[in-house]
Amino acid sequence: MTKIKPIGDKILIKRLQAEEKTKGGIVLPETAKEKPKEGRIVALGEGRLLEHGKRAPFSVKENDRVIFSSYAGTEVKLDGEEYLILTEEEILAIVK
């Protein structure tokens, strides 16, 4: 369990690990690794606030593996772990 609780329509994601090797077997140094655009949902806020005061439910849930856009969200670090906080609109797909 994480110490970060997103608020409102925000979602907390833990990025998946970057590839260590290319498909051809070349080992990549840390500086050459591209940050993955996939992650697991760790926590959800309460949902987007609607005009009549209710909250819109999320179409994703905790533990879903998702794909998000390259420059989505805000990166945060806590206790040596890196997370990404973004909105549901920045999630492109759920990986089944």
pLDDT-derived band of residue 35, with 50, 70 and 90 as boundaries?
low
Contact indicator for 12, 1 with CB cutoff of 8 Å: no
For residue 61, pLDDT over 60 is answered with: yes
Q: Which of 95, 94, 70, 78 is nearest to 86 (CA)?
A: 70
The Cα–Cα gap between 94 and 88 comes to 11
Q: Where are the domains of the chain?
A: 10-95
The Cα–Cα gap between 73 and 2 comes to 18
Average pLDDT on 69-76 reads 89
Q: Residue with structure tokens 């849930």?
A: 61
Beta pairing partners, 39: 15, 66
Architecture of domain 10-95: Roll (2.30)
pLDDT-derived band of residue 37, with 50, 70 and 90 as boundaries?
confident
pLDDT given at position 20: 56
